[in-house]
């Protein structure tokens, strides 16, 4: 029986955090209910948009994020996972506000690159405009030897950002063609794998044919990191 309780700071968006819970369950090596990981999902879609906050001077999401962290802490959680990449732009103030460890999604993605035997070298990176602008992935992964290729501004505006919005609107199947086009474009530029650095993007990519190169599903990566924490 697992004694550690995982806190999940979700709602960003609601479908991504619900899917994280599904993947956490399916990836856990358990043969009965009692062998699964106790978890508390704090799904609060009222958190202000993270990209708008970073790039357009929108409302600060940090107070809502800290409210969720306090709720998870009060619920008896031992660690926190956040299935939203852009929210990690506030990682330091969140980390400093709680004694609980917060599992970093970029570190989880790096571990999944290693799990899939993606050697240091050129990889593709997809994410929200804010995630790319903050260099949440580039700085962490390039220090480990991965050179990150990102979509150009036109691809972001025409394809990636609208596709993320489609997933948030529950129009998941419609998101596959533009997301696949961008991922294939990164592979054509020499990326040996593509990191799906927004938790809406794996949902869109999963709605169509499997891509012919490794992809790093950051929902799965964070679920694996959470399982490793809980079972350690």
CATH number of the structural domain spanning residue 30: 3.40.50.1860
Q: Is 14 exposed, middle or buried (0-12, 13-18, 19+ CB in 10 A)?
A: middle
Please indicate, yes or no, if residue 134 is contained in any of the structural domains.
yes
Average pLDDT for the chain? 98
Is the pLDDT assigned to residue 1 strictly greater than 90?
no
Please indicate, yes or no, if residue 142 is contained in any of the structural domains.
yes
Report the distance separating Cα 189 and Cα 132, nearest Å: 18
Report the distance separating Cα 10 and Cα 13, nearest Å: 7
115 in the same domain as 79: no
**Residue 232 pLDDT:** 87
92 in the same domain as 117: no
Please indicate, yes or no, if residue 193 is contained in any of the structural domains.
yes
Please indicate, yes or no, if residue 195 is contained in any of the structural domains.
yes
87 in the same domain as 168: no
42 in the same domain as 93: yes
Q: What is the pLDDT of residues 184-211, one digit of tens each?
A: 999 999 999 999 999 999 999 999 999 9
Could you tell me which residues come within 8 angstroms of residue 169 by beta carbon, excluding any fewer than 6 positions away? none
Q: How many domains does the chain have?
A: 2
Q: What is the pLDDT of residues 54-111, one digit of tens each?
A: 999 999 999 999 999 999 999 999 999 999 999 999 999 999 999 999 999 999 999 9
Distances (CA, A) of 211 to 3, 15, 149, 219: 38, 22, 17, 17
Q: Is the pTM of this model over 0.95?
A: yes
The share of the chain scoring above pLDDT 70, in percent, equals: 100
Please indicate, yes or no, if residue 1 is contained in any of the structural domains.
no
227 in the same domain as 167: no
Distances (CA, A) of 31 to 28, 82, 97, 168, 218: 9, 26, 36, 33, 25
150 in the same domain as 199: yes
100 in the same domain as 110: no
166 in the same domain as 115: yes
83 in the same domain as 45: yes
Please indicate, yes or no, if residue 23 is contained in any of the structural domains.
yes
80 in the same domain as 181: no
147 in the same domain as 81: no
Range of the domain at 210: 106-218
82 in the same domain as 11: yes
Is the pLDDT assigned to residue 228 strictly greater than 90?
yes
Question: At what angle are helices 161-168 and 14-27 packed, to 10 degrees?
Answer: 80
């Amino acid at each position: 029986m697992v004694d550690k309780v995982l806190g999940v700071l979700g709602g960003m968006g609601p479908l991504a955090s619900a899917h994280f819970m599904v993947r956490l369950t399916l990836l856990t090596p358990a043969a009965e209910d009692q062998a699964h990981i106790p978890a508390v999902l704090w799904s609060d879609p009222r958190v202000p948009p993270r990209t708008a906050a970073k790039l357009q001077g929108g409302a600060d999401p940090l107070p809502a994020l800290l409210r969720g962290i306090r709720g998870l802490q009060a619920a008896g959680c031992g660690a926190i996972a956040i299935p939203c990449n852009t929210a990690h732009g506030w990682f330091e103030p969140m980390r400093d506000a709680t004694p609980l460890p917060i599992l970093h999604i970029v570190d989880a993605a790096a571990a999944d690159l290693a799990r899939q035997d993606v050697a240091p070298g050129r990889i593709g990176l997809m994410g929200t405009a804010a995630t790319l602008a903050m260099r949440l992935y580039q700085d962490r992964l390039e220090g480990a030897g991965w050179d990150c290729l990102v979509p150009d501004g036109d691809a972001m505006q025409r394809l990636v950002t609208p596709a993320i919005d489609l997933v948030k609107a529950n129009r998941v199947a419609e998101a596959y063609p533009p997301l696949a086009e961008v991922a294939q474009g990164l592979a054509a530029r020499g990326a040996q794998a593509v990191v799906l650095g927004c938790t809406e993007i794996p949902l869109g990519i999963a709605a169509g044919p499997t891509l012919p190169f490794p992809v790093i599903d950051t929902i799965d990566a964070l679920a694996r990191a959470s399982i490793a924490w809980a079972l350690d």
